[in-house]
């Protein structure tokens, strides 16, 4: 099947404006501005069943519908922070198929009445930002951005904003703080961005991949999109496959593809043909799924992955084989979260610091059973108390690792 | 020389991105600009940026302190930031870092005697399928180097040495 | 706003919708533990200490009515605990703060906090009044599961400035201090550095922590991370006694507490260990400026006068009270109508009333020692009873003229800023930039000398005129920036014109930003400044109390030398005292009872906190002794004097000490057992003071004097202090104008060691271009020649000062009381 998001793999040169246009580029945006009311655009997206690809899987059209129309101006922010260990799909989309992404931003902006949109990129994506800046300029010159677009009254500008090394800025409210020139620390929610977002104004924050779906949904209709994927999870997804597989990479597949197909058919199987031991389906924030036959045959959609005691999240599938100790994995993830905890709330700030001491001790063989118990207890003690989801994420591998791979912890 | 004298156009461009009453938004891009030459932000730059965006210097410093790509102290001219996070570590990144440092004769986090290269481990760079991977943070911004080997990296260091000499 | 009814720990309560759970609980006496929450600041929900179980009625989707169970609404509890500090109440809500689940949550947060905490309570200044300590006892686990050896170690003594010290280990990252500086003080001079567990407080100002409100952060810090250089390792909280008082440093009249103890270190004397704010929501809320907090050390100076002195053979010698009183009293009696009493607003209402009664009894004059006029007008058109900056917001206009509130009355600066944040229209009119401008809606910049014209023209301006004339409430604060007695009197009259019709109403009227704490009281009691003080003193029997004219101005020193007899009543051997024939040692106000009248015309009591120094006596008592010697009977107890004052002076009618000691419940509730809610500020149990009755309220009809600028400057005019000419500096000359700075060399500041660095040297502030003309840059020394005297000062630069103007700070050793023409020369 032809790609929907990773179209550069089928159409060489689609990162060039003329090639993109030749392949139907910007028609969806033009048609929307010329022929559709903003709410009609939102309705199509709602009907398509598109859910956010940033991790939480929230229905995109519904989110757009939440924008507070008594408070203006509105903003759209594309979340290109992509900092979850194991996630590398947004970068490929932006580098390979930039115009489709930017068109998605433009359509979303039109749908919610925003005249200004930002693309927030993690600071490491310096080159990607420069590349996008160039693409944005080309769009301006071609009349796809600027004032009075397509002869209408609608105007739109898109700018990039570079972060500077902080995973927490992927969290949408921390991201907004960061654009405002502040420390990237999450805000209290509620209020949510559609009522109180950038500069205190209603704002839609969507993931890059989410937005990149939009032009084709408008072009081909919501039914077409819904016919792909599963009832619970419409459409296609870019799965970032990494870890102990022979061919790591991004694979765009319909929701509902099994882990087995992803790992063996697309990923070429495990390095040295070892048995697969565990799967982290949502990057470092994941529960660790025991990779038994049943799990391998589970379709990858939001609901099914949940039945395995995991989450699909942003579908960053990290594969662990039998050479990998789960105590080591857990130590790794805790180093990450301790490094990235913003420090705003107590349980995450202190809990990760504490857990790091424990995982370090356990992994280096200096811990004993009571340390494992304490680690488990500290992780559970953090749960349900943190201000944002990062603190919760940090506990996932710990709690499920100890529970599901007890022998790796000397039990 | 002040930033305003050095980069008048860039600064203008930065401010043009944000609503005029939201000057503060420019603080992050201005900090990136300030790091261009020396690779870190000194007190002068912080003061100037504070004045440019109309906030207190302490607030600027507070942002420098929060984000890991801003530095308040000089290091090597080029920072080789090697991802050793979980997915890369599953593909040998930790060994790569250790070997590279050994060859360069420095500890992770250390700088080569000529002051050119600092090698430091960093968290995931979103290139997990292309491990070992590092980025070079230097005067011209940030550049990715993917699917690297120690040999290729050492060649790169040699080439950089020559071009900077 | 609608009210909602909810249940918290089985108690039902009804509060306005939007109230946060933590506050609703507080109002019915339930203390939900908090660290980051503070009732004066926006909730941030960071520390997660206030976790409670929250249940809400299940609503039937079809009917919109609550689903019932056993006749009662069925309540559904969320799976997660919620933060009481960020969650607003809703109808039918059920909050459980004491349930097993909630308590476990709170316990777990305390455990997290303690993992990084050094547990050094035995040597911590906060010990005994520490929210973390208290909450650990009440809610925490008894035992740590964290390995002590793995604790994070950080620097324990990090001076953020010279007044505030940070202990990095103790900080729990609640950001109260940072938020206070940002939200309340408007000076974000401290901030977080790094992130995660490495989060750390830093300042990047020079000097460090550059804010006059810094001390407040130590009150609201819920641990011992921030301490004052003054109190650090000074005493344990539980050894301290507290005495209610009022700050004597400026006309705001902040309510304070003196914490004292008897200590070996001070030779077994009872000494003041620290000054703490005492809540008065109408005056200072729960805040203090650093001057009020740290300058009190002048009262303990070893160089204070301890015994009466008399001049014998041209030399002052120690004597007994009997002899001093006999000599001075006899002299007063014989001088009769030739007596001139000269006193300042540093004295209390009681002192001033006795002095005035004495002068009246002798047929002499009572003069107020000040450079600022207009108190007769504030007495008549002052703000009405019930005035509260805390209630001002949209609909209120606040005009601040010729005053740098940040330096002259810092807490008013803070409160005006707060009103602006709530929507009040703040207009700042001054000849130079001041800090308040950052929060003003309108800024009016005039040239020095154009004050009156500017004010008279304000109502003609479009937006500003509208903001003044159609404001629901209008408060005008005027000061003496760049002005002397004549100029400020004229300005006061112009300002009175703006509020004339509003006088007597709460949140309306005129406020003088006086140089001293009780200037307003002095005016009310009948003291008036002299337009030509030198003339008044020559040849007279002068009784000077709490003023140092000879030290301030060589011309006044000369005049005093020509007086026939001088009695000086003082704390220190000032230049004036050195010239005196009799010197009477007075008690500091920390050693005696009394009251001050604030600029808002609120009479407030202070109480003796420490025993008297040496043989000193209270001013009012000394005056009564002299009066007695002169055969005039005056009361000699503070309470009795105040009663007489209430009978004699109409503005004080009906006021008694009892009345001043009345309190009402204030919101937020602070200072009780739960120090974690409001901080270590004291609850006000000793009195909120009482408002004087204004002239307009008493039906006085006299209108304000019509003062034109020209009259003000005309020779012989009661307002003319420009010696009959409009000041027009010639080439090579400068118009020097006096300005006030917070930390000056005034008697009540300079002997506080802590503040030495803040006082610094005298400066002269010039426009950068003007400084260039002198060939001087910032910090260079210049010589100022003024009325024949010369002095040196360091150049400071300010772009908002006009070209031929030089600003000289008052009380920095340079004799400037009003605008003058002077020569400047680079040294
Ligand atoms: C700690 C944390 C990190 C996150 N990082 C990202 C990210 O890198 N990219 C992203 O799109 N969403 C990220 N999210 C999710 C965003 O908060 C937000 O839900 C998302 O951008 C919404 O877009 P969507 O509806 O299109 O998924 C993160 C959330 C959390 C709590
Ligand atoms: S959970 Fe962690 S990242 Fe989120 S607010 Fe708390 S400290 Fe910050
Ligand atoms: S989170 Fe409620 S008091 Fe800190």
Taking contacts as CB-CB distances below 8 angstroms, the residues of chain B near C435 are none
pLDDT at C704: 60
Q: Quick check: C716 pLDDT over 80?
A: no
pLDDT digits (tens, 9 = 90+) for C91-148: 999 999 999 999 999 999 999 999 999 999 999 999 999 999 999 988 888 888 998 8
CATH assignment at residue B111: 3.40.30.10
* Ligand showing the shortest atom-to-Cα distance for residue C49: 3
Is B92 in the same domain as B30? no
Taking contacts as CB-CB distances below 8 angstroms, the residues of chain A near B53 are 181
pLDDT at C720: 40
pLDDT digits (tens, 9 = 90+) for C47-60: 999 999 999 999 99
Inter-chain Cβ pairs, chain A and chain C, closer than 8 A: 85
pLDDT at C701: 64
Is B158 in the same domain as B104? yes
Closest residue on chain A to C43 (Cα): A188
**A84 CB less than 6 Å from ligand 1?**
yes
Q: Which carries the bigger pLDDT value, residue C63 or residue B150?
A: B150
Domain range summary for chain A, segments of one domain joined by +: 7-226, 236-321, 326-409
pLDDT at C703: 60
Last residue of a domain, one of B66, B89, B104: B66
Neighbours of B36 (CB within 10 A): 15
Q: How many CA atoms lie within 13 A of C144 on its CB side?
A: 17
> Are A385 and C105 a contacting pair at CB < 8 A?
yes
Distance of alpha carbon C286 from alpha carbon C283, whole angstroms: 9
pLDDT at B28: 98
Q: Quick check: C728 pLDDT over 80?
A: no
Is B107 in the same domain as B61? no
**A286 CB less than 6 Å from ligand 1?**
no
- Over the range A320-345, which residues count as b (16 or more CB within 10 Å of their CB) and which as e? bbeebbbbbbbbbbbbbbbbbbbbbb
pLDDT at C712: 41
> Are B25 and A91 a contacting pair at CB < 8 A?
no
> Are A166 and B63 a contacting pair at CB < 8 A?
no
Taking contacts as CB-CB distances below 8 angstroms, the residues of chain C near A341 are 195-197
Q: Is B37 a domain residue? A: yes
Structural element, H or E, at residue C357: helix C349-362
pLDDT at B15: 98
Complex ipTM: 0.96
Last residue of a domain, one of B66, B88, B118: B66
| The CA-based dihedral angle spanning residues A37, A38, A40, A46, taken in that order and rounded to the nearest 10 degrees | 180
N-terminal to C-terminal alpha carbon distance within chain C: 66
CATH code for the domain defined by A326-409:
1.20.1440.230
Question: CATH top-level class for A7-226?
Answer: alpha beta
Q: Quick check: C545 pLDDT over 80?
A: yes
Ligand 3: which atom is nearest the Cα of residue C174?
4
How confident is the model over C462-471, as a mean pLDDT?
96
| Unique residue bearing structure tokens 């533990």 | C33
Taking contacts as CB-CB distances below 8 angstroms, the residues of chain C near A351 are 112
Residue A211 phi/psi, 5° resolution?
A: -70, -30
Q: Quick check: C698 pLDDT over 60?
A: yes
> Are C204 and B65 a contacting pair at CB < 8 A?
no
For chain B, list the contacting chains (3+ Cβ pairs, <8 Å).
A, C
- Reading phi first (left if > 0) and then psi (alpha if -120 to 50, else beta), residue C229 is in alpha
Q: Is B151 a domain residue? A: yes
pLDDT at C388: 97
Ligand 1: which atom is nearest the Cα of residue A186?
31
pLDDT at C700: 73
Q: Give how far Cα C617 sits from Cα of A69, C588, C623, C628, C827, Å.
A: 71, 9, 10, 15, 46
Q: How many CA atoms lie within 13 A of C629 on its CB side?
A: 19
Question: CATH top-level class for A236-321?
Answer: alpha beta
Q: Quick check: A295 pLDDT over 90?
A: yes
pLDDT digits (tens, 9 = 90+) for C568-599: 999 999 999 999 999 999 999 999 999 999 99
Q: Quick check: C715 pLDDT over 60?
A: no
pLDDT at C144: 84
Q: Is C130 exposed, middle or buried (0-12, 13-18, 19+ CB in 10 A)?
A: buried
Asked if A174 has any chain C CB less than 8 Å from its own CB, the reply is no
Tell me the CA–centroid distance for residue C60 and ligand 1, in Å: 33
Is B50 in the same domain as B94? no
Q: Quick check: C722 pLDDT over 60?
A: no
Asked if C187 has any chain B CB less than 8 Å from its own CB, the reply is yes
- The parent domain of residue B61 ranges over 3-66
Mean pLDDT of chain C: 93
SS3 state at C245: strand
Distance of alpha carbon B73 from alpha carbon B41, whole angstroms: 7
Q: Quick check: C429 pLDDT over 50?
A: yes
pLDDT digits (tens, 9 = 90+) for C769-787: 999 999 999 999 999 998 7
Distance of alpha carbon C29 from alpha carbon C45, whole angstroms: 21
Q: How many CA atoms lie within 13 A of C342 on its CB side?
A: 29
**C511 CB less than 6 Å from ligand 3?**
no
pLDDT at C733: 86
**A372 CB less than 6 Å from ligand 1?**
no
User: Are A52 and A90 within 8 A, CB to CB?
Assistant: no
Q: Quick check: A321 pLDDT over 70?
A: yes
pLDDT over 90 percentage in chain A: 99
DSSP C742-801: SS-S-HHHHT-GGGHHHH-S-EEEE-HHHHHHHT--TT-EEEEEETTEEEEEEEEE-TTS
Structure tokens at C104: 């476990």
Q: Quick check: C65 pLDDT over 50?
A: yes
- Over the range C695-724, which residues count as b (16 or more CB within 10 Å of their CB) and which as e? bbbeeeeeebeebbbebbbbeebebbbbee
CATH assignment at residue B54: 1.10.10.1590
Q: Which residues of chain B have pLDDT under 50?
A: none
Kindly tell me the sign of the dihedral angle through the C-alpha atoms of A321, A327, A332, A336.
positive
Ligand 3: which atom is nearest the Cα of residue A345?
1
Q: Quick check: A356 pLDDT over 90?
A: yes
Q: Is B158 a domain residue? A: yes
Q: Is B71 a domain residue? A: no
Q: Quick check: C719 pLDDT over 70?
A: no
Structural element, H or E, at residue A239: strand A236-243
Question: How many domains in chain B?
Answer: 2
How confident is the model over C598-604, as a mean pLDDT?
98
β-pair partners for C342: C367, C544
pLDDT band at C526 (very low <50, low <70, confident <90, very high): very high
User: Are C76 and C58 within 8 A, CB to CB?
Assistant: yes
pLDDT at C686: 96
Q: Quick check: A242 pLDDT over 50?
A: yes
Q: Which carries the bigger pLDDT value, residue C726 or residue C673?
A: C673
Asked if C152 has any chain A CB less than 8 Å from its own CB, the reply is yes
């Amino acid at each position: 099947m032809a790609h929907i998001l990773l179209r550069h793999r089928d159409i060489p040169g689609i990162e060039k404006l003329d090639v993109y246009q030749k392949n139907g580029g910007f028609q969806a945006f033009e048609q929307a501005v010329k022929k559709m009311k903003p709410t009609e655009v939102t309705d199509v997206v709602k009907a398509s069943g598109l859910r956010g690809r940033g991790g939480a899987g929230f229905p995109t059209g519904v989110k757009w519908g939440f924008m507070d129309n008594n408070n203006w101006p509105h903003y759209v922010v594309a979340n290109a922070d992509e900092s979850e260990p194991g996630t590398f799909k947004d970068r490929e989309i932006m580098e390979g198929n930039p115009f489709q992404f930017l068109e998605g931003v433009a359509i979303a902006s039109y749908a919610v009445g925003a005249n200004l949109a930002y693309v927030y990129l993690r600071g490491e994506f310096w080159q990607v930002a420069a590349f996008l800046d160039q693409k944005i300029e080309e769009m301006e010159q071609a009349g796809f951005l600027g004032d009075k677009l397509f002869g209408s009254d609608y105007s739109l500008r898109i700018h990039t904003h570079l972060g500077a090394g902080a995973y927490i800025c992927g969290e949408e409210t921390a991201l907004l703080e960061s654009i405002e020139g502040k420390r990237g620390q999450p805000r209290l929610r509620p209020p949510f961005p559609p009522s109180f977002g950038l500069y205190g104004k209603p704002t839609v924050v969507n993931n890059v991949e989410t937005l990149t779906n939009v032009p084709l949904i408008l072009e081909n209709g919501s039914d077409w999109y819904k016919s792909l994927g599963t009832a619970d999870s419409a459409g296609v997804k870019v799965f970032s496959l990494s870890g102990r597989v022979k061919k790591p990479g991004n694979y765009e597949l319909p929701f509902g593809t099994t882990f087995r197909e992803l790992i063996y058919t697309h990923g070429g199987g495990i390095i040295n043909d070892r048995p697969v031991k565990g799967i982290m389906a949502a990057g470092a924030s994941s529960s660790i799924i025991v990779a038994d036959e049943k799990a391998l045959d589970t379709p990858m959609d939001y609901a099914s992955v949940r039945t395995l005691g995991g989450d699909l999240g942003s579908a960053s599938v990290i594969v662990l084989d039998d050479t990998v100790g789960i105590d080591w994995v857990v130590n790794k993830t805790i180093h990450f979260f301790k490094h990235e905890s913003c420090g705003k709330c107590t349980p995450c700030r202190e809990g990760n610091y504490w857990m790091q001491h424990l995982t370090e001790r356990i992994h280096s063989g200096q811990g004993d059973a009571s340390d494992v118990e304490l680690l488990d207890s500290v992780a559970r003690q953090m749960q349900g108390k943190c201000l944002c989801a990062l603190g919760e994420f940090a506990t996932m591998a710990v709690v499920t690792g100890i529970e599901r791979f007890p022998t790796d912890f000397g039990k | 020389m002040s930033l305003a004298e050095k980069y008048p156009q860039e600064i203008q461009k930065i401010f043009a991105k944000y609503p005029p009453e939201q000057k503060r938004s420019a603080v992050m891009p201005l900090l990136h600009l300030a790091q261009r030459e020396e690779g870190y932000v000194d007190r002068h730059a912080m003061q100037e940026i504070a004045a440019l965006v109309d906030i207190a210097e302490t607030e600027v410093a507070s942002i420098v302190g929060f984000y890991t790509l801003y530095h308040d102290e000089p290091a090597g001219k080029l920072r080789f930031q090697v991802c050793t996070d979980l997915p890369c570590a599953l593909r040998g990144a930790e060994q790569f870092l250790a070997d590279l440092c050994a060859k360069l004769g420095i500890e992770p986090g250390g700088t080569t005697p000529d002051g050119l290269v600092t090698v430091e481990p960093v968290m995931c760079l979103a290139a997990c399928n292309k491990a070992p991977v590092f980025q070079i943070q230097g005067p011209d911004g940030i550049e990715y180097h993917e699917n690297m080997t120690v040999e290729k990296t050492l060649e790169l260091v040699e080439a950089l040495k020559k071009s900077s000499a | 706003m609608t009210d909602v009814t909810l249940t918290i720990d089985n108690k039902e309560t009804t509060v306005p919708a939007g109230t946060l759970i933590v506050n609703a609980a507080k109002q019915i006496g339930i203390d939900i533990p908090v660290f980051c929450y503070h009732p004066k600041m926006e909730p941030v929900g960071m520390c997660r200490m206030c976790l409670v179980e929250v249940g809400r009625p299940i609503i039937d989707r079809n009917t919109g009515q609550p689903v019932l169970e056993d006749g009662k609404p069925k309540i559904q509890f969320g799976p997660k605990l919620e933060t009481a500090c960020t969650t607003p109440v809703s109808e039918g809500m059920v909050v459980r703060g004491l349930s097993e689940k909630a308590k476990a949550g709170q316990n777990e947060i305390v455990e997290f906090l303690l993992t990084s905490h050094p547990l050094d309570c035995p040597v911590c200044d906060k010990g005994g009044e520490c929210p973390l300590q208290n909450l650990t006892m009440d809610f925490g686990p008894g035992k740590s599961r964290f390995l002590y050896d793995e604790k994070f170690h950080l620097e324990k003594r990090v001076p953020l400035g010279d007044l505030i010290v940070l202990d990095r280990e103790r900080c729990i990252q609640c950001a109260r201090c940072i938020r206070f500086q940002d939200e309340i003080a408007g000076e974000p001079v401290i901030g977080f550095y790094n992130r995660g567990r490495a989060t750390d407080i830093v300042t990047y100002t020079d000097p460090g922590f550059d804010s006059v409100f810094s001390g407040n952060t130590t009150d609201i810090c819920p641990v011992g991370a921030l301490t004052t250089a003054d109190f650090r390792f000074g005493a344990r909280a539980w050894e301290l006694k507290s005495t209610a008082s009022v700050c004597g440093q400026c006309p705001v009249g902040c309510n304070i507490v003196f914490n004292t103890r008897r200590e070996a270190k001070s030779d077994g004397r009872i000494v003041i260990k620290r000054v703490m704010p005492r809540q008065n929501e109408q005056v200072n809320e729960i805040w203090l400026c650093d001057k009020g907090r740290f300058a009190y050390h002048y009262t303990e100076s070893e160089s204070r006068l301890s015994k009466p002195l008399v001049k014998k053979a041209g030399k002052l010698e120690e004597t007994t009270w009997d002899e001093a009183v006999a000599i001075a009293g006899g002299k007063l009696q014989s001088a009769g109508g030739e007596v001139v009493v000269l006193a300042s607003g540093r004295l209390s209402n009681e002192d001033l009333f006795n002095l005035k009664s004495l002068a009246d009894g002798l047929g002499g004059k009572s003069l107020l020692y000040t450079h600022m006029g207009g108190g007769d007008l504030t007495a008549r058109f002052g703000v009405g009873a019930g005035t509260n900056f805390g209630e001002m917001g949209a609909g209120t206009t606040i005009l601040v003229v010729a005053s740098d509130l940040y330096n002259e009355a810092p807490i008013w600066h803070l409160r005006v800023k707060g009103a602006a944040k709530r929507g009040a229209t703040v207009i700042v009119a001054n000849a130079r930039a001041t800090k308040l401008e950052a929060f003003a809606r309108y800024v009016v910049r005039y040239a020095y000398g154009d004050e009156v014209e500017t004010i008279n023209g304000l109502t003609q301006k479009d937006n500003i005129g509208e903001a003044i004339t159609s404001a629901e409430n209008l408060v005008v604060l005027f000061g003496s920036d760049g002005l002397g007695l004549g100029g400020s009197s004229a300005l006061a009259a112009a300002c009175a014109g703006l509020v004339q019709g509003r006088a007597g109403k709460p949140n309306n009227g005129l406020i003088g930003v006086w140089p001293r704490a009780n200037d307003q009281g002095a005016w009310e009691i009948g003291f008036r400044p002299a337009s030509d003080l030198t003339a008044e003193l020559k040849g007279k029997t002068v009784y000077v109390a709490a003023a140092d004219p000879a030290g301030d101005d060589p011309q006044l020193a000369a005049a005093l030398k020509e007086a026939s007899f001088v009695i000086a009543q003082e704390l220190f051997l000032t230049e004036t005292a050195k010239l005196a024939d009799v010197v009477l040692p007075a008690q500091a106000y920390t050693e005696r009872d009394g009251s001050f009248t604030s600029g808002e015309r609120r009479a407030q009591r202070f109480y003796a906190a420490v025993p008297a120094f040496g043989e000193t006596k209270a001013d009012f008592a000394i005056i009564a002794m002299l009066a007695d010697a002169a055969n005039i009977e005056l009361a000699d107890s503070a309470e009795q004097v105040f009663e007489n004052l209430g009978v004699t002076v109409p503005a004080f009618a009906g006021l008694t000490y009892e009345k001043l000691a009345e309190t009402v419940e204030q919101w937020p509730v602070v200072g009780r057992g739960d120090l974690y809610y409001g901080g270590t500020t004291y609850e006000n149990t000793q009195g909120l003071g009482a408002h004087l009755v204004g002239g307009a309220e008493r039906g006085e009809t006299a209108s304000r004097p019509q003062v034109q600028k020209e009259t003000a400057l005309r020779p012989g005019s009661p307002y003319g202090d420009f010696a009959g000419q409009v000041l027009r500096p010639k080439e090579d000359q400068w118009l020097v104008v006096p300005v006030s700075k917070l930390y000056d060399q005034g008697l009540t500041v300079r002997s506080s060691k802590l503040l030495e660095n803040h006082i610094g040297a005298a400066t002269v502030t010039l426009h950068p271009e003007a400084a260039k003309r002198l060939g001087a840059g910032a910090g260079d020394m210049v010589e100022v020649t003024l009325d024949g005297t010369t002095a040196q000062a360091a150049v400071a630069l300010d772009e908002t000062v006009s070209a031929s103007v030089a600003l000289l700070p008052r009380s920095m050793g340079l004799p400037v009381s009003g605008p003058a023409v002077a020569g400047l020369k680079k040294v």
